[in-house]
Chain A
Amino acid sequence: MSETARVINEPWPSLPRQREAVTFAVWLFLATEVLFFGGLFLGYTVYRWLYPEGFLIGAQETDIVYGVSNTAIIMTSSLTMAVAVRAAEQDMRRMVFRCLIATALFGLAFLVVKGFEYYDDIIRGFVPGPHFPLHQTGAELFWTFYWVMTAVHAIHLTIGIGMVATLTVLLHRRKLPLVSPAYEGVALYWHLVDIIWVVLLPLLYLIGRAS
């Protein structure tokens, strides 16, 4: 069976049509993700508007080293993911393989750094609840948004790592030819997770540094 024939699903008459459909559908899904995180951004915006002081004080307690390191890591993972897709288009199987693995590893590195960061945050007591150390109104709310936003992002990243790992395994077993739209589909999702972090960085780590 030709590669194309292995990859085409019902009811698509041709691979280009199916690729178009997958790209379109994934972007529609990304739109839903934008609105999903959008709810959190709205909440953040509202409370920052209401409690600018409290937010600044809360934000000064995030660790910028972790934040910036993770930004660099996730941006680099987007690089390797983008190259993987380009390599797939060029039928460069080994390059795709290496880039997918690199992407997954960068993703895992992000989670590891995040894990250390969460541990530090917990040790220092910055978990919203009855024992929260900062008392200005808004500081605790900031930290709720910090936890929820980064956790939801981390869950999305984990799912992304799972998908990249799946692609890698299927590619290794020669079950997913490089012409499949799945590579681009997963990449689009991965880049969105990167973009979301890029927006989270200034909101959570870069405010309150100059005072």
Chain B
Amino acid sequence: MTDAILDRLPQAKQPQTYLNEGYTLSSWLLTTDHKRVAILYALSITFFFFIGGAAISLVRLELISPNGMMLTDEQYNRLFTLHGIIMVWFFLVPSIPTTFGNFLMPMMIGAKDVAFPRLNIMSWYIFVIGALFTIYALIAGGVDTGWTFYTPLSTLYANGSVIAAAAGVFVAGFSSIATGINFIATVHLQRAPGMHWKRLPLFVWSIYATSIVMILATPVLAMSLLMIVAERWLGMPIFNPANGGDPLLFQHLFWFYSHPAVYIMVLPAMGVVSEVLACFARKAVFGYTAMVISLMSIAVVGFLVWGHHMFVSGQSQFANLVFSFLSFIVAVPSAIKVFNWTATLYGGRITLKAPMLYAMSFIGLFTIGGLTGLFLASVPIDIHVTDTYFVVAHFHFIMVGGAVSGFFAALHFWWPKITGRMYPDNWARIGAMTTFLGFIVTFMPQFFMGYAGMPRRYHVYPEQFQAYNVVSSVGAVILAVAYLLPLFYLTWSLRYGKPAGRNPWDATGLEWQTTSPPPKENFDRQLVVSAAPYDYENT
């Protein structure tokens, strides 16, 4: 019997899944099921992704002309600031951890839920409150300081809703911290019998490493924002040079968080890539131990490099040297991961399904982004390209080419598990290839124009950069189409997609041992683990 006929039988028994456990609004808003919390987060961050995307679409449109077309300087500044704040704190930082981390990590370790389910749903509400502050700031006209809130501009001179925006980020930070604490406790104390640390999937390790960074870095951001509020709102001088204040103190505190934050954004994507690569190369990830050590090294050493954002701010030469050296060091474990992924592919039986295309995009684009990071770690080069589009291109290669590709790889890999439906692979592959193309056209020219001197955050720019900007903006249109495409075919799949079954990709991993969608308790029995992860040789 086909599934279609089974569905139409009058007594067709609907299996109990986390989706049909309850249909009321309160069953969703008061849920303690990590899978439902993941969906709530997914809806929130998708919303913000498109808001941040809309903001930058206006910016890229405006940059077609070197003299501006429809925006005032003030509006332009507010749009790129909005783009940064939303994309960093309301999309990228939460993205993979709160969605796929929440949904899958407990399942991957054989647990019934996270350590503290009520804390989990509370973390979503905290996120929403932070989001409301930020939306208020947006509606009240926005902020023009850049997402980096540098003082004394943000504390003394900026017009706009700095305090509301800072409050929004401050509150959202506590959501991060709550999630991080929950995940660390879960990985330590909720593993199924037999799930030793050395048997954990690399995605779980990546979530664990990310959680450590989240809890130790975010409080410092919170304090730096509190200090901004104290100076701006209460008039207490902290960073004002007229009172002896040092603007660089803000930068030290801000970047102490914001550099590790980029690892919060990229480590989970690295975890996803390992899972996807192993599955679609039908081969265990090469060098599991080195991959784990690399993940943890990136997490720790990532805390020691923040001064590379301050090479031209007035930091001492000695500090520049120290941070430059440490920044070179932190690249090493990332490079090891790229080598190990390559070795995973070598000799594998590769199928180029959509998740694999996104994962391979990650490797290529992350490598370029990472290599250009080395350029920036070198003080003399950084002095030349600082505050130009070279830097913008570098971090977008990592954040978009890397982290967002990783997010889409995860979306396409685990969609069948989460929804129980397959999406049309051909459309998905078109989407992946369009994303890659759009990305290259948007961001590759930015390296060249940055090196040639095009400044970042400029509304009006010298004529000689127009050609680059036009190409980049065209790429942005392609990217926009590529990002909108999944909205259509994924939504379509919810109703018309083929039922996925337990393990459509024939992947290893505990999450594939249960039904798609999974039941509320994840598994129908207590699992006992006896195999190593990525046991593809034997499938």
- Chains A and B share a contact (CB less than 8 Å): yes
CB distance from A138 to the nearest CB of B (A): 6
A11 near B111 with CB under 8 A, answer yes
- Chain B residues in 8 Å Cβ range of A152: 226
B249 near A11 with CB under 8 A, answer no
- Which of A34-42, A86-94, A157-165 forms part of the interface with chain B? A34-42
A148 near B227 with CB under 8 A, answer yes
Which residues of A11-43 have CB atoms within 8 Å of chain B's CB atoms? 11, 17, 20-21, 24-25, 28-29, 31-33, 35-40, 42-43
- Which of B236-244, B333-341, B406-414, B471-479 forms part of the interface with chain A? B236-244
- Chain B residues in 8 Å Cβ range of A138: 244
> In whole angstroms, how far apart are the Cα atoms of A33 and B215 in the complex?
10
- Knowing A11-B117, A21-B185 are in contact, say whether A144-B238 is a contact too (CB < 8 A): yes
- Which of A44-52, A101-109, A110-118, A171-179 forms part of the interface with chain B? A44-52
B243 near A141 with CB under 8 A, answer yes
Interface residues on A, range: 35 or more
A39 near B219 with CB under 8 A, answer yes
> In whole angstroms, how far apart are the Cα atoms of A88 and B234 in the complex?
43
Provide the B242-265 mask, 1 if CB < 8 A to any CB of A, else 0.
011110010011000000000000
- Knowing A10-B113, A43-B249 are in contact, say whether A32-B223 is a contact too (CB < 8 A): no
B235 near A129 with CB under 8 A, answer yes
Give the contacting residue for B245; candidates A29, A37, A141, A147; CB below 8 A. Answer: A141
> In whole angstroms, how far apart are the Cα atoms of A38 and B303 in the complex?
15
CB distance from A166 to the nearest CB of B (A): 15
A21 near B189 with CB under 8 A, answer yes
Secondary structure class of chain B's binding surface, majority of residues:
helix
B244 near A25 with CB under 8 A, answer no
> In whole angstroms, how far apart are the Cα atoms of A191 and B227 in the complex?
25
- Knowing A39-B253, A54-B244 are in contact, say whether A28-B118 is a contact too (CB < 8 A): no
**Cβ of B190 under 8 Å from chain A:** yes
Give the contacting residue for A148; candidates B216, B218, B219, B226; CB below 8 A. Answer: B226
- Chain A residues in 8 Å Cβ range of B189: 17, 20-21, 24
CB distance from A193 to the nearest CB of B (A): 15
Give the contacting residue for A32; candidates B216, B224, B227, B244; CB below 8 A. Answer: B216
A28 near B185 with CB under 8 A, answer yes
CB distance from A98 to the nearest CB of B (A): 30
Specify the chain B residue showing the minimal Cβ separation from A136.
Answer: B244
> In whole angstroms, how far apart are the Cα atoms of A46 and B245 in the complex?
10
Specify the chain B residue showing the minimal Cβ separation from A130.
Answer: B235
- Knowing A10-B32, A43-B249, A140-B243 are in contact, say whether A147-B236 is a contact too (CB < 8 A): yes
- Chain A residues in 8 Å Cβ range of B253: 39, 42-43
**Cβ of A150 under 8 Å from chain B:** no
CB distance from B474 to the nearest CB of A (A): 43
B243 near A137 with CB under 8 A, answer yes
**Cβ of B532 under 8 Å from chain A:** no
Besides A128-B237, A130-B235, 17 other CB < 8 A contacts?
A: A9-B118, A10-B117, A24-B188, A25-B115, A32-B177, A32-B215, A32-B219, A35-B219, A38-B219, A42-B253, A43-B249, A43-B253, A129-B235, A129-B236, A137-B244, A140-B243, A147-B230
28 of the cross-chain contacts (CB-CB < 8 Å) are: A9-B116, A11-B111, A17-B189, A21-B189, A24-B185, A25-B182, A28-B185, A29-B181, A31-B215, A32-B177, A32-B216, A36-B220, A38-B220, A39-B253, A40-B223, A43-B249, A43-B253, A46-B246, A128-B237, A130-B235, A137-B243, A140-B243, A141-B245, A144-B230, A144-B236, A147-B236, A148-B226, A148-B238
Interface residues of chain A, those whose CB is within 8 Å of chain B, are 9-11, 17, 20-21, 24-25, 28-29, 31-33, 35-40, 42-43, 46-47, 50-51, 54, 128-130, 137-138, 140-141, 143-144, 147-148, 152
Give the 9 A-B CB pairs with smallest separation, nearest first: A39-B223, A36-B219, A137-B244, A35-B219, A144-B236, A11-B112, A128-B236, A11-B113, A32-B219
